[in-house]
Copies of this chain bind each other. A is one copy, B any other.
Amino acid sequence: MDCEILTIGTELVLGYVVNTNAAVMGRTLAAAGIAVRRSTAVSDDVALVQDAVQAALDRTGVVIVSGGLGPTRDDVTRNAVAELLRRPLKRDDAIVEQLRERFRSRGVANMPESNLVQADVPEGATVLPNPLGTAPGLWLEDGERIVVLIPGVPKEMRGLLETEVVPRLKARRGGTGNGERGTVVRSRTLRTTGIGESALADRLGDYEKALGSTVTLAYLPSTAGTELRLTAWNVPESEVDGVLAHAVDAIRPRIEDRVYGEEDQDLAAVVLELLDQRQLKIAVAESCTGGLLGARLAAIPGASRLFKGGVIAYDNEVKLQMLGVSADALAEHGAVSEEVARQMAAGIARALDAGAAIAVTGVAGPDGGSDAKPVGTVWFGVKVGDTVRAFHLVLPGDRTDIQARAAQYALDFLRRMLAGTL
């Protein structure tokens, strides 16, 4: 079964409110095996709402509409849809009573009359109870076509979607969701860093070509790296996990050195786990990242067991004084250099008696670049046990991008040294 999502609200179209409702609806419906084909947002305008509902019905036959059911003048959805489907509105006494009771229970004796429109029900509609708010949901059928109206308040939307809308759509589709027709859309994500989108695509090219339409592969780049999302489309619920596992097994070996985790796993958490296995504590020495690398580690619950701390050596004086970097190295090679990165890593490991250490020194910009060391130039020093290694990159993006990428690369260099793949 396919459906479309329609979210109503001038604030959404103007971008004053980010449309998280559309995301929640898409995710919830897809996971239940109802494929969302299109997601549309329109302003609080009768003609626009009617046009969008009609178009969705003509294309897909099922449309879930969220928003515009409240008591104020800009809430037009109920009237617009009733008129479009030629279903006169009738005030429902039971809903009126529920509304009055709701206000009474909150200590308001005289409910503002504007609330009564929320008790108006289009002829032939099924009322979907909404215990979390004032406007109930409405389920309308027109032959094979279905229009569902639910409120735009996120909590109410979610509640109605999960308890009323999804079960009805599944029932309508037939079967329990586990039968032949009970197909679902579900994803798995592999997280990579230290390799570009196009380099990944080159490694996976053959595999991608061989993919059918059952599983698709999406590349989602960010400053944390590139996520690879494998999505299984319209697969029976009983088979979907197997299909995804098969797909992951096919691509993971080709990029194994670059995959640090799956789903929402954070690279800092992966590094802490590897350190734990080796019984190593970690310290950091940060120049251009200014504390971001430490913050990445500290964000992980339980980090305090393994993360000792570090020095933010933003000023060169601090590098000399607290990290024991030599004045000669600074004078001869400059703060952004292999030698200084190595000395920073060794210095912080010694100062805090840590078995592992990461140092970062670079040019985050926008100023401070030169021909020899352009903005984005970063040197990393990574110490594990008695080994100190240095790595060099020129990172793209603006100042905050470069800082975010530098922290992520720093963690990944340590990860790969600990894993023995670097």
Q: Which B residues touch A394, using CB under 8 A?
A: 105-107
Q: Which B residues touch A288, using CB under 8 A?
A: 298
- From A86-94, A137-145, A211-219, the one touching the partner chain is A211-219
Within 8 A of B (CB), among A8-48: 10-20, 22-28, 30, 36-44, 48
Q: Which B residues touch A115, using CB under 8 A?
A: 198
Q: Which B residues touch A290, using CB under 8 A?
A: 291, 294-295, 297-299, 303, 307, 309
State A317–B400 Cα separation when bound (angstroms).
Answer: 31
Shortest distance between the CB of A91 and any CB in chain B (Å): 16
State A290–B304 Cα separation when bound (angstroms).
Answer: 10
Shortest distance between the CB of A113 and any CB in chain B (Å): 8
- A15–B22 CB distance below 8 A: yes
Within 8 A of B (CB), among A67-125: 70-74, 105-107, 111-115
27 contacts between A and B (CB under 8 A): A11-B220, A13-B26, A16-B229, A18-B18, A19-B22, A19-B39, A38-B48, A44-B218, A74-B216, A74-B217, A106-B394, A106-B396, A107-B394, A112-B196, A112-B201, A286-B291, A290-B294, A290-B295, A290-B299, A291-B296, A291-B312, A292-B298, A299-B399, A304-B368, A308-B314, A308-B315, A322-B351
State A351–B318 Cα separation when bound (angstroms).
Answer: 9
- A197–B311 CB distance below 8 A: no
- On whether A301 and B231 interact (CB within 8 A), knowing A48-B37, A308-B318, the answer reads no
State A317–B292 Cα separation when bound (angstroms).
Answer: 21
- A220–B17 CB distance below 8 A: yes
Copies of this protein in the complex: 2
- A18–B19 CB distance below 8 A: yes
Is A385 located at the chain interface by the 8 A CB criterion? no
Q: Which B residues touch A274, using CB under 8 A?
A: none
Is A187 located at the chain interface by the 8 A CB criterion? yes
Is A310 located at the chain interface by the 8 A CB criterion? yes
State A221–B152 Cα separation when bound (angstroms).
Answer: 11
Binary contact track A296-340/B, C-beta < 8 Å → 1, others 0: 111101111001111111110110011000000000000000000
State A315–B353 Cα separation when bound (angstroms).
Answer: 12
State A55–B58 Cα separation when bound (angstroms).
Answer: 13
- B314–A291 CB distance below 8 A: no
- On whether A185 and B315 interact (CB within 8 A), knowing A70-B197, A114-B202, A217-B74, the answer reads no
State A382–B396 Cα separation when bound (angstroms).
Answer: 36
- B48–A22 CB distance below 8 A: no
Is A208 located at the chain interface by the 8 A CB criterion? yes
Is A199 located at the chain interface by the 8 A CB criterion? yes
Interface size on A, residues (CB 8 A): 116
Q: List the 7 closest pairs (A to B, CB-CB), nearest first.
A: A290-B298, A291-B294, A291-B291, A15-B26, A15-B23, A15-B27, A309-B314
Is A366 located at the chain interface by the 8 A CB criterion? yes
State A14–B14 Cα separation when bound (angstroms).
Answer: 22
Q: Which B residues touch A315, using CB under 8 A?
A: 304, 307-309, 352
Is A341 located at the chain interface by the 8 A CB criterion? no
Among B22, B114, B304, the residue within 8 A (CB) of A201 is B114
Among B19, B310, B365, B400, the residue within 8 A (CB) of A23 is B19
Among B55, B132, B219, B298, the residue within 8 A (CB) of A314 is B298
- B322–A314 CB distance below 8 A: no
State A39–B42 Cα separation when bound (angstroms).
Answer: 6
Is A293 located at the chain interface by the 8 A CB criterion? yes
Binary contact track A354-381/B, C-beta < 8 Å → 1, others 0: 0000000000111110000010000000
- B302–A311 CB distance below 8 A: no
**Of A44, A219, A403, most B-chain CB atoms within 10 Å:** A219
Q: Which B residues touch A165, using CB under 8 A?
A: none
Shortest distance between the CB of A256 and any CB in chain B (Å): 19
Is A343 located at the chain interface by the 8 A CB criterion? no
Among B22, B71, B199, B301, the residue within 8 A (CB) of A198 is B71
